[in-house]
Chain A
């Protein structure tokens, strides 16, 4: 094939980028080997020279990764659409802040981000970990080898290793005839990129991934320390250095996860902050085990117990981070998750990168099990270390359940692989129908136990505690917590019986446990620590944890849908399904107030965003009043917005808007708008079956059936003897044209012929027929026709989340507690 000289391509950044990704891979390989040799070398000078070589290779790899990052950003920000990554994820009209968002929208970008953080952490460790440098950095560098391999995009035989973010469009599909033309970049489809998914155009998308990936990356550090300890047989010595890192990691990962929750709550329309989606679960699980590890580590430091479980928890945490990366990036979750991740053909590679850490890790732990120092004397039931261990186990159980249910697609694959499915004639398992309850029914008990432990265990001393002092110190916090629980239960009327009495008991137990955790830890700062805030990090974090539990519990058990559509509500209202079949969308015609809970909501119109032309804002006016004609006691306007039919998409991508109060949030988002593409100019009569007092909306207002009248008198109906006639008395209200009365007539003549006389409102071109009486249902059928300009309306959902602020305050408190602990531990 002859070589074509393409016009207008910028090949240098891509070539440099690919060069640096290969260099990073090779350098990290060298660093791994060098650090490995440094640990294995017998004499000091050899150790030292290997170590130096390892460190310099790591510098080279770090600089290369930074260069790759900068080059990819250069390509995206300069809109070089000859590159697939830029074409796929960005477009010219993006605001600068979203250029980063498209950077990590793709898998390659997110690996790169992860790799950058690991490089930063590696650079810090190489310069601060002193005698631990060589063994710890061996694992960090090795992790960079695996990370770097994800970005290689090199073929070995038919198998591709990694995915190169610097791939050109024409390299991606060389057979396409477009690329026969040397001037292909002038073609329409290469002038602009595919752009960022509308759902991701959000400031959270700019900050949430970096924090989350820093969290993921930092889990590597305690893992590396634990492995280094096992490897060099200095089983207990790594603890002191690893503790601040483990705390840092737990804090970052926790922040990252909760930022995701805040994002889901604030701008995605999942209707909440946590949906037990596989992607959320996969990131929560390593956090649980990591927190368990932090606690067993503390138990070991003060009592000598629980060293083996500390090893176990740090190894499993990093394994689970890699497992979560496998779950979310391999496409295996396809049918179970709302977050869509496409398979890039790297599942094998992701599995291998998990195996190369997990298998040696656990193998070493099992082999060295006998060598790991342990205390043969049993811990006392009144010791802190014993209960720390129990708490860690509960966290582990929680992690196991979440992993077990999240991994359903994996179980299916495994059953298939081992031929068990055929053997037992099994069907594929699917996620439970009621996912939330599936997790809640287990986690609520575990959370309660954790809350109770959080409250009590701080009052116990390491090794042994005199019994009566504990009881004495705990008496007040227990009583206060009980009092507050009863108060909340009574005032807040927590009465969530959708899942039966057993679950309500669990809710009250968790309510007490979380209040108890807050009160007892607050008390401990004064009675246990005598108010020394410097060492109160743990207590503060625990108060935060209690508040998180409390916030989660209250906001979800008291969540309320404002926009309940009462239409047809009586049918099936008292059946079992009415709870699930809730009709949560309400249609609001423009300009007409519609009652929702204590509010009358009016759709005032829409306007186009100033910064982003694709975005439409909907003006929703809320007025708090009992009846329509009353004066409003409170008035505010919400502006939920949506991207309408962008990029050939049919339908809308909405963003909610909320009114924040201290004690609750009113949360509104648009779920549908009129479709412009469906033409409705043919004019059939539309039937409506209604009863007295019901309302029918039409484009200019509404019609109310005020009553039925026998022997009606209207100008078009001429009564004959023997007629049975009924007139429907209709009151018509319009926004602009005033109020009217209509009276269509339905009659039966000669006891068999059914006829009707329509009534019309010429100025509104509205015609109403009275076509049927349904005596059994006590309803009538009216048919309405109007030559309408398409009716303007929106369909929306409105929810109330009470005390959601308790959750956010809890998270912030917990993070503050972590920071205090880290400072305290580094100072020591």
Chain B
């Protein structure tokens, strides 16, 4: 067998093994209920901001404390704490993807990804507002 073929085989084997290991790194999407069972494990939760509850960010007291309530896909509402500032246009978000872990009854997140209404939606509102003119 040629050297290059051997190397090729070794590399392919390494890639396959590597991928299997990398899959272990992949996170999963959970709800708060399932997240509670995996307390301390870093996971992702998709949901939406619960606008009826308070959103706290007061830099004068603590510039790194931002908390709000999120309703996950199963409808469960849980308090979320984020060590950072409040993202721009947070109240307008339609969907949130949080990365973090459960700590007791609170979800401590390290990353917030927001989905905002697209510009297309803005345009629809432009059209609908126009009806009143």
Contact = CB atoms under 8 A, between A and B. Distances in A.
B2 A378 contact: yes
Interface in A155-193: 172-173, 176-178, 184, 187-189
B60 A791 contact: yes
Interface string B38-60: 00001110100000000001011
Interface string B9-51: 0010011001100110111110000000000001110100000
Contacts of A390: 7
A793 B88 contact: no
Interface in A191-244: 194
A432 interface: yes
B85 A585 contact: yes
Interface string A330-342: 0000110010101
Contacts of B119: 88, 194, 342
Contacts of B105: none
A700 to B, nearest CB: 13
Is chain B's interface secondary structure helix, strand, loop, or mixed overall? mixed
Interface stretch (A146-154, A393-401, A598-606, A723-731): A393-401
Chain A interface size, as a band, is 35 or more
B22 A585 contact: no
B28 A428 contact: yes
B85 A671 contact: yes
Given A379-B3, A431-B26, A649 B46 contact: no
A427 B3 contact: no
A732 B61 CA distance: 18
Interface string B92-133: 100001010000000010100101101110111011111101
Interface string A102-116: 000000000000000
B7 A393 contact: yes
Contacts of A650: 88-92
Contacts of B59: 585, 587, 672, 674, 793, 795
Interface in A543-598: 565, 567-568, 580-587
A582 B84 CA distance: 9
A465 B47 CA distance: 63
Contact of B4 (A389, A686, A795): A389
Interface string A427-458: 11111111000100010000000000000000
B7 A401 contact: no
A393 B130 contact: no
A427 B91 CA distance: 29
A496 B120 CA distance: 46
B76 interface: no
Given A194-B119, A433-B99, A583-B83, A187 B28 contact: no
Given A176-B127, A393-B7, A430 B29 contact: yes
Nearest to A586: B63
Contacts of A580: 110
Contact of A584 (B7, B14, B84): B84
Interface of B: 2-4, 7-8, 11, 14-15, 18-19, 22-23, 25-29, 42-44, 46, 57, 59-64, 83-92, 97, 99, 108, 110, 113, 115-116, 118-120, 122-124, 126-131, 133
16 contacts: A172-B123, A184-B130, A187-B130, A389-B4, A397-B14, A400-B15, A427-B29, A430-B27, A431-B26, A432-B25, A433-B42, A433-B99, A438-B25, A587-B59, A697-B60, A795-B85
Given A429-B26, A433-B42, 9 more contacts: A173-B123, A173-B124, A189-B127, A194-B123, A378-B4, A405-B22, A433-B43, A433-B44, A672-B86
Report the 9 A-B pairs with minimum CB-CB distance, sorted nearest first.
A651-B88, A433-B42, A583-B64, A587-B63, A178-B130, A176-B127, A671-B85, A430-B27, A189-B126
